[in-house]
Structure 1
Amino acid sequence: MVHISKPEFYVKVKYKLDSLRSEGYSVFYESIEADKEIDSLQKDLIYRKLRSITGFYPDYSNKKQFKVLQIKGFVQQSQSNTGIIDSLDVQADLPINKLIALYEKEKGEVLLSDYDLKTPLKDKYRTKIDQQDYDFLIDTLRNRRLVEMVKESKAEKIAVIYGALHRLPLFTSLSKQDSLWHTVQ
């Protein structure tokens, strides 16, 4: 999956997901959207912590931050344009509030500076990013969760709709645990 592309790309994704479902696949998808019971103040704090670790606020509609959205015809990925169905498909990712909680459990509390707290989430944000912390949050914790979800699933066939960079770590982790895991093109 790519998170920003032309609409026709997502039409193909939606068609493919519909086809896979009709062939008996369970669909697992990526989304770090916060749990619904989290209030707006908690969400704000969690997203500021995320931004302090990664250097960005994950709102692809923010054209200041994601310049590719200024290119005519590009849109962001959404559940509707990819054909994700909440009631049918499985969110095999960590909601941002749980992701940050896991990060803090393993790495310690994320302390926010005045700059972190005063800079609006959608404004330009400048900070030095620790690549190891970034990778741990964005890749390690989320890939760990995805592997657990796939391993524990009773589904015989699973279609995983996740960012392309997660593919190799997912397959490598699953293959280490069971050499029978394979991908289908």
Structure 2
Amino acid sequence: MKQIISLLFVLITLVGCDTSLMVQSTGVLRDASRKFELHNGDRRIIYIPMRHLGTRVYYDQIQAAVDSLQKSGYVVFYESIAYQVDSAAQRDLYDRKFRKLTGNRLGLQQCIETPGDTSRVLRAPLYRKLGQRIISQPDYSFFLVDYGTAVNADIPKNKLLDDFEYRYGAIQLDGCDYDTPLSAPYTCKPIKTALKNKFDKEFVMQQREENLASLVADAPQQKILILFGTSHFKGFLRNLQARDPHWVKIK
């Protein structure tokens, strides 16, 4: 009987927030000890693979690492696709195009109170049972990044969308796209899956990895600390070594 009750509890939790059951397999509960180190003669790179969800301890560890490495001369190159637009109306239009492309795939964000709010935990009860405090990635100011020297090594979201439209044509919005508030569940007709996959692969992944590698390769800094998504490291390294095969991964 207890087994049946437990199974029902798991199923109810799965329906309420299906990602809660996979938290341990996603690496969310790991610590921040993993780093990649590269060198090319006198130049050094440390790449800290960032996760957009983690424990408070995980982000505290990254904060300590960033603070220490900056004091030893490393300059931060960070990930941020923040918009560079002139008006709220432009941002609204880009947001609707982005939603059309991605289908508003919130994923884990569905379980978060407010992105960037480090005082809130996930609602799912299984997380609390694990005894871990799961939060979304804080702003870079939390990590004590020195904005006076740091470099945004990413591509604005509006440029990614512009480049996509230049290559594959305009993202056509319909009445449903305009009438549905950005904060509401998205039930409009999505864009073709093939185009969605092209955006993910060619722009969200490849273009940003090529851009990061280009900026790092041409940068004057001798010691660079990269704060970028975990899934981008392999593509970044491949592009960096294509530009200069003398870059060697030592850790």
Using structure 1 for the length normalisation, give the TM-score: 0.85
> What's the counterpart of residue 76 of structure 1?
136
Judge conservation of contact 2:67–2:143 (CA < 8 Å) in 1.
no
- String of CA shifts for 1:33-80, please: whole Å, max 9, x gaps: 112x5211111111111121122378x5884899x8434532221223
Q: In 2, distance between residues paired with 1:62 and 1:117?
A: 25
The reply to whether residue 113 of structure 1 matches residue 162 of structure 2 is no
Q: For the structure 1 residues 39 and 57, does the alpha-carbon distance in structure 2 shift closer, same or farther, using more than 3 Å as the test?
A: farther
Q: Once the 2 structures are TM-superposed, how far is the Cα of residue 149 of structure 1 from its aligned partner?
A: 1.1
> What's the counterpart of residue 227 of structure 2?
161
Judge conservation of contact 1:65–1:124 (CA < 8 Å) in 2.
no
Give % identity: 28
Range that drifts further, 46-55 or 170-179 = 46-55
- Number of aligned residues: 183
> What's the counterpart of residue 93 of structure 1?
154
> What's the counterpart of residue 86 of structure 2?
38
Q: For the structure 1 residues 86 and 113, does the alpha-carbon distance in structure 2 shift closer, same or farther, using more than 3 Å as the test?
A: farther
Q: Once the 2 structures are TM-superposed, how far is the Cα of residue 24 of structure 1 from its aligned partner?
A: 1.7
> What's the counterpart of residue 202 of structure 2?
136
Picking from 59, 66, 75, the partner of 1:17 is 66
Q: In 2, distance between residues paired with 1:31 and 1:114?
A: 31
Amino acid corresponding to residue 42 of structure 1 in structure 2: Q
Unaligned residue ranges in structure 2 (runs of 5+): 1-49, 116-120
Range that drifts further, 101-110 or 25-34 = 101-110
Judging by fraction of residues, say which structure has more strand: 2
Structure with bigger gyration radius:
2
Q: In 1, distance between residues paired with 2:70 and 2:110?
A: 29
Q: Look up the SS of the partner of 1:70 in the other structure.
A: coil
Q: Once the 2 structures are TM-superposed, how far is the Cα of residue 5 of structure 1 from its aligned partner?
A: 1.3
Q: Once the 2 structures are TM-superposed, how far is the Cα of residue 84 of structure 1 from its aligned partner?
A: 2.8
Q: For the structure 1 residues 115 and 137, does the alpha-carbon distance in structure 2 shift closer, same or farther, using more than 3 Å as the test?
A: farther
> What's the counterpart of residue 216 of structure 2?
150
Q: Look up the SS of the partner of 1:144 in the other structure.
A: helix
Q: For the structure 1 residues 30 and 61, does the alpha-carbon distance in structure 2 shift closer, same or farther, using more than 3 Å as the test?
A: farther
Q: For the structure 1 residues 156 and 140, does the alpha-carbon distance in structure 2 shift closer, same or farther, using more than 3 Å as the test?
A: same
The reply to whether residue 27 of structure 1 matches residue 51 of structure 2 is no
Judge conservation of contact 2:81–2:155 (CA < 8 Å) in 1.
yes
Using structure 2 for the length normalisation, give the TM-score: 0.64
Q: Once the 2 structures are TM-superposed, how far is the Cα of residue 13 of structure 1 from its aligned partner?
A: 0.8
CA RMSD for the aligned pairs?
2.7
Amino acid corresponding to residue 50 of structure 1 in structure 2: F
Amino acid corresponding to residue 70 of structure 1 in structure 2: R
Q: Once the 2 structures are TM-superposed, how far is the Cα of residue 184 of structure 1 from its aligned partner?
A: 5.0
Q: For the structure 1 residues 69 and 182, does the alpha-carbon distance in structure 2 shift closer, same or farther, using more than 3 Å as the test?
A: farther
- String of CA shifts for 1:94-145, please: whole Å, max 9, x gaps: 1122222222222222221222222222222253643122222211221122
Q: Once the 2 structures are TM-superposed, how far is the Cα of residue 22 of structure 1 from its aligned partner?
A: 1.9
